[in-house]
Amino acid sequence: MKEIVILGAGYAGLKALRRLQASKGDFHITLVDRNDYHYEATDLHEVAAGTQPKEKITFAIADVVKGSTTFEQSEVKAIDRKDQKVQLSNGKSLSYDYLIVSLGFRSESFGIAGVADNALEMVDVKTAENVYQHIIDRMKDYASTKNQDDLKIVVCGAGFTGIELLGALEDNRKKFASIAGVEPQEIQLYCVEAVTRLLPMFDEKLADYGISTLKNWGINFLTGKPIKEIKPDTVVYQDNKETGATKELTAKTIIWTTGVSGSNVMEASGFSQRRGRVMVAADLTDPDFSNVYIIGDVSAVMDAKSGRPYPTTAQIALSMGEHAAKNILAQLKGDTTTPFTFKSLGSVASIGNTHAFGLVGKSAVKGYPASFVKKMIMDKSLLETGGIKEMLSKGRFDLYH
Q: Is 49 in the site for ligand NAD (CB under 6 A)?
A: no
- Please compute, for residue 94, the number of CA atoms within 13 A of its CA located in the half-sphere on the CB side: 30
Stretch that binds ligand NAD, among 180-188, 256-264, 285-293, 364-372 (CB under 6 A): 256-264
Of the listed 164, 170, 384, 390, which one is catalytic? 164
Q: How far is the CB of 118 from ligand NAD (least distance, A)?
A: 14
Q: Beta 2-7 vs 98-101: how paired, if at all? A: parallel
Q: Is 159 in the site for ligand NAD (CB under 6 A)?
A: yes
Applying CB under 6 A, among 9, 20, 57, 158 the residue interacting with ligand NAD is 158
- Asked whether the beta carbons of 88 and 11 are under 8 A apart, the reply is no
Q: Is 164 a catalytic residue?
A: yes
Q: Is 193 in the site for ligand NAD (CB under 6 A)?
A: yes
* Helix orientation angle between 160-171 and 204-216, rounded to the nearest 10 degrees: 30
- Please compute, for residue 174, the number of CA atoms within 13 A of its CA located in the half-sphere on the CB side: 2
Which CA distances in Å does 233 have to 192, 205, 223, 228, 250?
A: 14, 35, 20, 14, 6
DSSP string, 157-199: --SHHHHHHHHHHHHTHHHHHHHHTS-GGGSEEEEE-S-SS--
Q: Is 202 in the site for ligand NAD (CB under 6 A)?
A: no
Applying CB under 6 A, among 3, 73, 149, 226 the residue interacting with ligand NAD is 226
Applying CB under 6 A, among 161, 261, 263, 353 the residue interacting with ligand NAD is 161
Applying CB under 6 A, among 255, 260, 317, 359 the residue interacting with ligand NAD is 260
Q: How far is the CB of 188 from ligand NAD (least distance, A)?
A: 18
Q: Is 194 in the site for ligand NAD (CB under 6 A)?
A: yes
What is the distance between the alpha carbons of residues 332 and 146, in angstroms, rounded to a whole number? 66
Q: How far is the CB of 201 from ligand NAD (least distance, A)?
A: 7
Residues in binding contact with ligand NAD, number by CB under 6 A: 26
Look up residue 311 and give its DSSP letter: P
Which H or E run contains 77?
strand 76-80
Q: How far is CA 81 from the centre of its chain?
A: 27
Residue nearest ligand NAD, Cβ-based? 159
Q: Is 345 in the site for ligand NAD (CB under 6 A)?
A: no
Name residues contacting ligand NAD, limited to 1-40 (CB under 6 A).
none
Q: Is 157 in the site for ligand NAD (CB under 6 A)?
A: yes
Footprint of ligand NAD on this chain (CB under 6 A)? 42, 110, 112, 156-162, 164, 192-195, 226-227, 257-260, 311-313, 347, 349
Residues tagged active-site = 164
